[in-house]
Amino acid sequence: MKQMIKPWRHVFKLDPDREIDDNALEAVCMSGTDAIMVGGSSGVTYDNTVDLLSRVRRYEVPCVLEVSNLEMIVPGFDLYMIPMVMNTADSMWITGQHQRAVEEYGYMIPWDLLVPEGYIVLNSDSTVARMTGAQTELDAAGAAAYAQVADKLMSLPVVYVEYSGSFGDMDTVKKIHQSVNAAKLFYGGGIVDAETAAKAAAVCDTIVVGNVVYDNLKQALLTVKAVK
Protein backbone atom coordinates (compact mmCIF):
# COMPACT_ATOMS: atom_id res chain seq x y z
CA MET A 1 0.00 0.00 0.00
CA LYS A 2 1.37 3.37 -0.97
CA GLN A 3 1.41 5.62 2.07
CA MET A 4 -0.40 8.50 0.41
CA ILE A 5 -3.43 6.37 -0.38
CA LYS A 6 -4.21 5.28 3.14
CA PRO A 7 -5.64 8.40 4.73
CA TRP A 8 -7.55 9.75 1.75
CA ARG A 9 -11.22 10.34 2.48
CA HIS A 10 -11.96 12.76 -0.32
CA VAL A 11 -10.60 13.25 -3.82
CA PHE A 12 -11.62 15.71 -6.53
CA LYS A 13 -11.31 14.32 -10.06
CA LEU A 14 -10.57 16.98 -12.65
CA ASP A 15 -10.91 16.41 -16.38
CA PRO A 16 -8.18 18.01 -18.52
CA ASP A 17 -10.69 18.20 -21.38
CA ARG A 18 -12.96 20.59 -19.42
CA GLU A 19 -12.46 24.26 -18.67
CA ILE A 20 -11.90 25.42 -15.11
CA ASP A 21 -10.95 29.01 -14.36
CA ASP A 22 -8.23 30.02 -11.92
CA ASN A 23 -10.60 31.01 -9.13
CA ALA A 24 -12.48 27.73 -9.26
CA LEU A 25 -9.24 25.75 -9.39
CA GLU A 26 -7.91 27.61 -6.38
CA ALA A 27 -11.09 26.88 -4.43
CA VAL A 28 -10.85 23.18 -5.29
CA CYS A 29 -7.15 22.89 -4.45
CA MET A 30 -7.51 24.81 -1.17
CA SER A 31 -10.71 23.03 -0.14
CA GLY A 32 -9.09 20.54 2.22
CA THR A 33 -9.52 17.64 -0.19
CA ASP A 34 -6.86 14.95 0.16
CA ALA A 35 -5.83 14.86 -3.48
CA ILE A 36 -6.57 16.01 -6.99
CA MET A 37 -6.95 13.15 -9.44
CA VAL A 38 -6.49 14.16 -13.07
CA GLY A 39 -8.34 11.94 -15.49
CA GLY A 40 -11.13 11.54 -17.99
CA SER A 41 -12.54 9.02 -20.39
CA SER A 42 -12.22 11.03 -23.59
CA GLY A 43 -10.42 14.01 -25.09
CA VAL A 44 -7.47 13.75 -22.70
CA THR A 45 -4.17 14.61 -24.35
CA TYR A 46 -0.56 15.23 -23.33
CA ASP A 47 -1.01 18.97 -23.77
CA ASN A 48 -4.19 19.43 -21.74
CA THR A 49 -2.82 17.11 -19.02
CA VAL A 50 0.47 19.05 -18.72
CA ASP A 51 -1.49 22.26 -18.58
CA LEU A 52 -3.73 21.10 -15.74
CA LEU A 53 -0.82 19.58 -13.77
CA SER A 54 1.16 22.80 -13.93
CA ARG A 55 -1.83 24.80 -12.71
CA VAL A 56 -2.54 22.41 -9.81
CA ARG A 57 1.15 22.53 -8.86
CA ARG A 58 0.70 26.09 -7.61
CA TYR A 59 -0.87 24.46 -4.56
CA GLU A 60 0.40 21.93 -2.04
CA VAL A 61 -2.35 19.36 -2.54
CA PRO A 62 -1.11 16.00 -3.91
CA CYS A 63 -1.82 15.58 -7.60
CA VAL A 64 -2.17 12.13 -9.15
CA LEU A 65 -2.85 11.00 -12.69
CA GLU A 66 -5.38 8.34 -13.54
CA VAL A 67 -4.03 6.87 -16.74
CA SER A 68 -6.65 5.97 -19.32
CA ASN A 69 -4.57 6.22 -22.48
CA LEU A 70 -0.90 6.25 -23.41
CA GLU A 71 -0.96 9.76 -24.90
CA MET A 72 -1.80 11.40 -21.57
CA ILE A 73 1.19 10.08 -19.62
CA VAL A 74 3.02 13.13 -18.29
CA PRO A 75 5.95 13.01 -15.87
CA GLY A 76 5.78 14.90 -12.59
CA PHE A 77 2.65 13.57 -10.89
CA ASP A 78 2.85 12.30 -7.31
CA LEU A 79 1.27 8.95 -8.21
CA TYR A 80 -0.08 7.19 -11.29
CA MET A 81 -3.36 5.35 -10.80
CA ILE A 82 -3.69 2.48 -13.25
CA PRO A 83 -7.23 1.18 -13.82
CA MET A 84 -7.75 -2.50 -14.58
CA VAL A 85 -11.41 -3.15 -15.38
CA MET A 86 -12.56 -6.23 -13.51
CA ASN A 87 -15.98 -6.63 -15.14
CA THR A 88 -15.14 -6.63 -18.83
CA ALA A 89 -14.56 -9.54 -21.18
CA ASP A 90 -12.23 -7.35 -23.27
CA SER A 91 -8.72 -8.04 -22.01
CA MET A 92 -7.54 -4.80 -23.64
CA TRP A 93 -8.86 -3.03 -20.52
CA ILE A 94 -7.48 -5.54 -18.02
CA THR A 95 -3.92 -6.14 -19.20
CA GLY A 96 -3.78 -5.30 -22.93
CA GLN A 97 -3.15 -1.57 -22.83
CA HIS A 98 -0.86 -2.12 -19.87
CA GLN A 99 1.24 -4.64 -21.79
CA ARG A 100 1.60 -2.18 -24.66
CA ALA A 101 2.63 0.60 -22.30
CA VAL A 102 5.27 -1.53 -20.60
CA GLU A 103 6.65 -2.78 -23.92
CA GLU A 104 6.94 0.75 -25.27
CA TYR A 105 7.91 2.72 -22.16
CA GLY A 106 9.02 0.10 -19.61
CA TYR A 107 12.50 1.54 -19.24
CA MET A 108 11.12 4.88 -18.02
CA ILE A 109 8.18 3.75 -15.86
CA PRO A 110 8.53 4.91 -12.21
CA TRP A 111 7.20 1.63 -10.80
CA ASP A 112 7.20 2.88 -7.20
CA LEU A 113 4.66 5.55 -8.11
CA LEU A 114 2.16 3.20 -9.77
CA VAL A 115 -1.05 2.26 -7.96
CA PRO A 116 -3.20 -0.31 -9.78
CA GLU A 117 -6.96 0.02 -9.29
CA GLY A 118 -9.42 -2.83 -9.70
CA TYR A 119 -12.22 -0.96 -11.46
CA ILE A 120 -15.79 -2.18 -11.17
CA VAL A 121 -17.86 -0.18 -13.66
CA LEU A 122 -21.54 -0.21 -12.75
CA ASN A 123 -23.29 2.60 -14.66
CA SER A 124 -24.16 1.17 -18.09
CA ASP A 125 -24.94 4.68 -19.33
CA SER A 126 -21.42 6.05 -18.93
CA THR A 127 -18.58 6.65 -21.36
CA VAL A 128 -16.29 4.35 -19.44
CA ALA A 129 -18.82 1.49 -19.53
CA ARG A 130 -19.35 1.85 -23.28
CA MET A 131 -15.66 2.21 -23.99
CA THR A 132 -14.58 -0.82 -21.98
CA GLY A 133 -17.55 -3.07 -22.74
CA ALA A 134 -18.16 -3.41 -19.01
CA GLN A 135 -20.75 -5.95 -17.93
CA THR A 136 -22.66 -3.69 -15.60
CA GLU A 137 -25.66 -5.94 -14.90
CA LEU A 138 -24.37 -7.24 -11.59
CA ASP A 139 -26.15 -7.70 -8.31
CA ALA A 140 -24.41 -6.86 -5.03
CA ALA A 141 -23.00 -10.36 -4.61
CA GLY A 142 -21.69 -10.38 -8.19
CA ALA A 143 -20.00 -7.01 -7.78
CA ALA A 144 -18.55 -8.03 -4.41
CA ALA A 145 -17.11 -11.15 -6.01
CA TYR A 146 -15.23 -8.99 -8.52
CA ALA A 147 -13.96 -6.88 -5.63
CA GLN A 148 -12.63 -10.01 -3.95
CA VAL A 149 -10.88 -11.09 -7.13
CA ALA A 150 -9.15 -7.68 -7.17
CA ASP A 151 -8.36 -7.67 -3.46
CA LYS A 152 -7.66 -11.28 -2.57
CA LEU A 153 -6.51 -12.90 -5.81
CA MET A 154 -4.76 -9.99 -7.50
CA SER A 155 -3.70 -8.07 -4.36
CA LEU A 156 -4.63 -4.75 -5.93
CA PRO A 157 -4.30 -1.95 -3.34
CA VAL A 158 -7.42 -0.11 -4.54
CA VAL A 159 -10.87 -1.28 -5.59
CA TYR A 160 -12.72 1.51 -7.40
CA VAL A 161 -16.50 1.30 -7.72
CA GLU A 162 -17.28 3.57 -10.67
CA TYR A 163 -20.82 4.81 -11.21
CA SER A 164 -19.61 7.87 -13.12
CA GLY A 165 -22.51 10.25 -13.76
CA SER A 166 -25.09 8.63 -11.48
CA PHE A 167 -25.35 7.98 -7.76
CA GLY A 168 -24.98 4.28 -7.22
CA ASP A 169 -26.66 1.70 -5.07
CA MET A 170 -25.14 2.19 -1.63
CA ASP A 171 -26.18 -1.28 -0.47
CA THR A 172 -24.01 -2.71 -3.23
CA VAL A 173 -21.10 -0.45 -2.27
CA LYS A 174 -21.50 -1.44 1.37
CA LYS A 175 -21.43 -5.13 0.49
CA ILE A 176 -18.30 -4.59 -1.58
CA HIS A 177 -16.68 -2.73 1.31
CA GLN A 178 -17.44 -5.57 3.69
CA SER A 179 -15.99 -8.11 1.29
CA VAL A 180 -12.52 -6.61 0.84
CA ASN A 181 -9.68 -6.93 3.33
CA ALA A 182 -6.51 -5.12 2.36
CA ALA A 183 -7.69 -2.99 -0.55
CA LYS A 184 -8.95 0.52 -0.03
CA LEU A 185 -12.38 1.09 -1.51
CA PHE A 186 -12.85 4.17 -3.70
CA TYR A 187 -16.35 5.18 -4.72
CA GLY A 188 -17.14 7.66 -7.51
CA GLY A 189 -20.32 8.67 -9.27
CA GLY A 190 -23.12 11.18 -8.78
CA ILE A 191 -21.85 12.80 -5.60
CA VAL A 192 -23.38 16.25 -5.98
CA ASP A 193 -23.75 17.68 -2.48
CA ALA A 194 -23.02 17.14 1.20
CA GLU A 195 -25.78 14.57 1.57
CA THR A 196 -24.66 12.26 -1.23
CA ALA A 197 -21.05 12.71 -0.09
CA ALA A 198 -21.90 11.61 3.45
CA LYS A 199 -23.95 8.63 2.25
CA ALA A 200 -21.14 7.39 0.01
CA ALA A 201 -18.43 8.09 2.59
CA ALA A 202 -20.30 5.89 5.09
CA VAL A 203 -19.77 2.82 2.90
CA CYS A 204 -16.29 3.29 1.41
CA ASP A 205 -12.83 4.56 2.31
CA THR A 206 -12.51 7.34 -0.25
CA ILE A 207 -15.07 9.30 -2.22
CA VAL A 208 -14.25 10.71 -5.64
CA VAL A 209 -16.12 13.83 -6.72
CA GLY A 210 -16.08 14.79 -10.39
CA ASN A 211 -18.74 16.49 -12.50
CA VAL A 212 -20.25 18.69 -9.81
CA VAL A 213 -17.03 20.72 -9.72
CA TYR A 214 -17.98 21.99 -13.18
CA ASP A 215 -21.75 22.08 -12.63
CA ASN A 216 -22.02 23.60 -9.16
CA LEU A 217 -18.77 24.55 -7.47
CA LYS A 218 -20.41 25.64 -4.23
CA GLN A 219 -22.04 22.25 -3.73
CA ALA A 220 -18.80 20.54 -4.75
CA LEU A 221 -16.90 22.30 -1.98
CA LEU A 222 -19.50 21.22 0.59
CA THR A 223 -18.67 17.57 -0.18
CA VAL A 224 -15.29 18.05 1.50
CA LYS A 225 -16.75 19.33 4.75
CA ALA A 226 -19.30 16.52 4.73
CA VAL A 227 -16.64 13.84 5.11
CA LYS A 228 -13.95 15.58 7.15
Is 15 annotated as a binding-site member?
A: yes
Closer Cβ to ligand 1GP, 148 or 189, answer by number: 189
Contact indicator for 38, 62 with CB cutoff of 8 Å: no
For residue 157, give the amino acid letter: P
Among 136, 148, 164, 196, binds ligand 1GP (CB under 6 A): 164
Interface with ligand 1GP (CB under 6 A), residue total 12
Q: At closest approach, how far in Å is the CB of 193 from ligand 1GP?
A: 11
The DSSP letter of residue 204 is: S
Distance CA 27, CA 38 (A): 16
Task: Tell me what percent of the chain is helix, strand and coil, each rounded to the nearest 5.
Answer: 40, 20, 40
What's the angle, vertex CA 87, arms to CA 70 and CA 77, rounded to 5?
30
Q: At closest approach, how far in Å is the CB of 98 from ligand 1GP?
A: 19
Residue 165 binding ligand 1GP, by CB under 6 A = yes
Closer Cβ to ligand 1GP, 102 or 202, answer by number: 202
**Helical segments of the chain, H only:** 22-29, 46-56, 96-105, 127-132, 140-148, 170-179, 194-201, 212-215, 217-227
Is 165 annotated as a binding-site member?
A: yes
What's the angle, vertex CA 170, arms to CA 151 and CA 3, rounded to 5?
40
Is 46 annotated as a binding-site member?
A: no
Q: At closest approach, how far in Å is the CB of 189 from ligand 1GP?
A: 5
Residue 135 binding ligand 1GP, by CB under 6 A = no
The DSSP letter of residue 113 is: G
Residue 211 binding ligand 1GP, by CB under 6 A = yes
Residue 34 binding ligand 1GP, by CB under 6 A = no
Among 189, 197, 200, 226, binds ligand 1GP (CB under 6 A): 189
Other C-beta atoms lying within 10 Å of the C-beta of residue 155: 11
Name the residue with the smallest CB distance to ligand 1GP: 188
Residues that bind ligand 1GP (CB under 6 A): 13, 162, 164-165, 188-191, 208-211
